[in-house]
Amino acid sequence: MSQELSIRPLTQDAFKPFGQVIEADPATMRLINGGTTERFHALGTAETLGEGASVILNIFRGQPRRFPYSVDMMERHPFGSQSFHPLQYRPWLVVVAEDEGGKPGQPVVFLARGDQGVNYRANVWHHPLMAIGGVSDFLVVDRAGPGHNLEEHFFSEPYVIPEFQL
């Protein structure tokens, strides 16, 4: 019987082991451009490792996942961070896991608001993009460069994200 995963709200503190939550935090705000613009400063850091690596910006158009959903794998990018930011203010799911001896532990599922993005630090286990409720575009900042920047792990016993109400 697959273990059911609970869904919790995405907060900076809860997400700290995995990276940063990208949101308009008033504590980071500084007025610029003659007071016409609020700059929410340095919300995350793009990491790229290795000679010849670069930071790239992408748009991912995600198909909505259906629930109950079987989490049968996780992945990580050893040579760089990866951030996702929703472009249509639609909630989405963030699924991460601590590393346990080179494999992901039990996944942790966060419900992100439509104004919250995340930046996975390099080598953090996560599930590929999980759009919900409709086709959703995300601005994705990650790494291009030499080396195989993708490690996948498939669970012998998948976990399940049950149906849920927003």
Ligand X SMILES: NC(=O)N[C@@H](O)C(=O)O
Please tell me the distance from the alpha carbon of residue 68 to that of residue 22, in angstroms, as a whole number.
Answer: 27
Question: Where in 123-142 is the site for ligand X (CB under 6 A)?
Answer: 126, 128-129
- Total of chain residues touching ligand X, rule CB under 6 A: 4
User: What is the smallest separation between the CB atom of 85 and ligand X, expressed in angstroms?
Assistant: 13
Identity of the residue, 27 or 59, whose beta carbon is nearer to Ni ion in the bound complex: 59
Burial readout 146-165 (b: 16 or more C-beta within 10 A, e: otherwise)? eeebeeeeebeeebbbeeee
Identity of the residue, 21 or 129, whose beta carbon is nearer to ligand X in the bound complex: 129
Question: Where in 74-93 is the site for Ni ion (CB under 5 A)?
Answer: 82
Identity of the residue, 82 or 116, whose beta carbon is nearer to Ni ion in the bound complex: 82
User: What is the smallest separation between the CB atom of 139 and ligand X, expressed in angstroms?
Assistant: 13
User: What is the smallest separation between the CB atom of 141 and ligand X, expressed in angstroms?
Assistant: 12
39 and 30 Cβ atoms separated by less than 8 Å: yes
Cα dihedral 44, 15, 22, 137 in deg (nearest 10): 120
Name the residue type at position 14.
A
| Residues contacting residue 129 through CB under 8 Å, at least 6 positions apart | 60, 62, 84, 92, 138
Q: Which does 129 bind (CB under 5 to 8 A by kind): Ni ion, ligand X, none?
A: ligand X
User: What is the smallest separation between the CB atom of 49 and ligand X, expressed in angstroms?
Assistant: 16
Q: What would the x/- binding string for ligand X be over residues 82 to 121, using CB under 6 A?
A: x---------------------------------------
Any idea which residue has 């409709």 for tokens? 134
Q: Is 26 helix (H, G, I), strand (E, B) or coil?
A: helix
Which spans of this chain sit near Ni ion (rule: CB under 5 A)?
A: 82
Which spans of this chain sit near ligand X (rule: CB under 6 A)?
A: 82, 126, 128-129
